[in-house]
Amino acid sequence: MVLGLVLVVGASSAAAAGAQPERGGDGWRGEVVAVQPLRELDASGVRDVLGGAQFDAGGVRHGVEVYQVLYRTVDARNRATVASGLLALPRNGERQLRVVSYAHGTELNRTDAPSMWRDGWAVAPALTYASAGFAAVAPDYLGMGLGPGPHPFLDVTTEASASLDLLRAARTVAAGQQRTLRREVYVTGFSQGGSGATALGQALERGGDGWFRLGALAPIAGAFDARRVELPALVGGTVAPPYNVGYTAYLVVAWNRLHGLYQRPEEFFAAPYAGKVEALFDGVHTGEDLAATLPGTPEELFTPRGLAVLRAPSGPFADALAVHDASCDGIRAPARLLVDRADEQVPVANSTYCATRLRTGAVVDVGTHPYNGSAHLGANIAGTAAALAWFRQLG
């Protein structure tokens, strides 16, 4: 293999621009547009990356080959578009590989997506699973990484479709390496990716793909009950700044694009923020930009009307929340909901709610292991180690 080679497979300017493909059906979804080999690491190199990100390196058994994959999928309007994601394969000589899909947590800047490999944190979960012998995929989501347009934050429908189509693309790329991805997919994800993981699990169980099916589910610190748990925590003061206003503003701006929550920002956002908020969520700004721009409380950021809508959702907003909050419904595969009960950003009641909606599953406390002072971020580290240990047992 020659690193740095870009393989273009079936790419077209129409696909990249988001135009509908000419042929009928949706058989084009998951087609590979381009593959960029990112890095080859031996086992020692994997341990170095994981150690630098404070992830557990105890499960490392193999080196890895890591690729950035650009592939065809659909946007929130069901129009053709492209998205990117990361594929990591173990260097273990195995021809048939079990698969883990990992959905990442909230990011603002598109370069923080897994396939951009900006830092070890973004790639550590995928490296964890691949170095243990799994094929690991990590979608960037729409509008992140190399994907066009703004990111539809917390839109479980497109998180599931982008994740499912990346699995299809990964199967093609792996076949090019004379490797086969097994049917059972172990699905996990952190924070925003928690409900993205359950939405993918639903899609797999409901026959969303002719090959892949759900093997097991292990989301980490997910906000599964946005209407009754997460939103009240954000608006009511349980979640402290800057996360309270940052997450809520992100949701309102992204869902206004999808569901028309307001006609003018001034209806939802108070002065002097109304003219600044939407630009912050363009995929270019950073968390530091949010902290420097937004106030510390929802009462300062939102108008009385905006606060009223957030506290008592109705109409299209309530309908969209209902779709999000149904991502756990009816999943039959074995499931563990991994949490840290000291989580300062996502209350554990989210996972308790999800457990009641699953056919089988339990909430598992992974303990508190703060990362940069955050129990929530630490849950990703501890949860990834716990998910790996469980997936290995299931195999």
Q: Please report whether residue 98 resides in a domain.
A: yes
Residue 236 is assigned to a structural domain of this protein: no
Do 263 and 331 lie in one domain? The reply is no
pLDDT value at residue 16 = 37
Interval 157-169: pLDDT, tens: 999 999 999 999 9
CA gap 133, 97 in Å, rounded:
7
In a 3-state reduction of DSSP, which class is residue 394? helix
Which range marks the domain in which residue 280 is found? 241-323
User: Do residues 22 and 144 both lie within one domain?
Assistant: yes
CATH number of residue 134's parent domain = 3.40.50.1820
CA dist 300 and 245 (Å) reads: 9
305, 331: one domain = no
Q: Decide: 173 and 143 in contact? Cβ < 8 Å.
A: no
Predicted pLDDT at 395: 76
User: 6-59 pLDDT, tens per residue?
Assistant: 444 443 333 333 333 333 467 899 999 999 999 999 999 999 999 999 999 999
Within 13 A of 206's CA, how many CA atoms are on the CB side? 15
234 within a domain of the structure (yes/no): no
pLDDT tens, 322-342? 999 999 999 999 999 999 999
- In which band, very low, low, confident or very high, does the pLDDT at 314 lie, cut at 50, 70 and 90? very high
What whole-number distance in Å separates Cα of residue 263 and Cα of residue 353?
A: 33
pLDDT in tens, 203-220: 999 999 999 999 999 999
Q: What is the DSSP letter of 335?
A: B
Axis-axis angle for helices 120-131, 43-52 (nearest 10): 140
Q: Which pLDDT value is given to residue 83? A: 98
Of 300, 323, 346, the position where a domain reaches its end is 323
Q: Looking at the domain assignment, is residue 233 inside a domain?
A: no
- pLDDT tens profile 353-370: 999 999 888 999 999 999
Phi, psi of 139 (to 5 degrees): -65, 145
Q: What is the mean pLDDT of the chain?
A: 93
Residues 131 and 73 in one domain: yes
> Do 153 and 302 share a domain, yes or no?
no
Domain co-membership, 276 together with 250: yes
User: Are 189 and 305 contained in the same domain?
Assistant: no
pLDDT band at 123; cut points 50, 70, 90: very high
| Confidence band, pLDDT 50/70/90 cuts, at residue 135 | very high
Longest pairwise C-alpha distance within the chain: 61
pLDDT of 235-280, one tens digit each? 998 999 999 999 999 999 999 999 999 999 999 999 999 999 999 9
Decide which of 269, 294, 323 is a domain's last residue: 323
Distances (CA, A) of 305 to 209, 266, 299, 308: 43, 10, 11, 5
* 1 part of a folded domain: no
| Residues 276 and 290 occupy one common structural domain | yes
Determine the average pLDDT of the residues in 167-173.
Answer: 98
CB 130 within 8 A of CB 89: yes
Residue 260 to residue 281: CA distance in whole angstroms: 16
Q: Does residue 230 lie within any of the structural domains?
A: no
Q: Is 147 contained in some domain?
A: yes
User: What values do phi and psi take at 183, rounded to 5?
Assistant: -70, -40
309 and 180, same structural domain?
no
3-state secondary structure 1-13: CCCCCCEECCCCH
Note whether 201 and 84 are same-domain residues.
yes
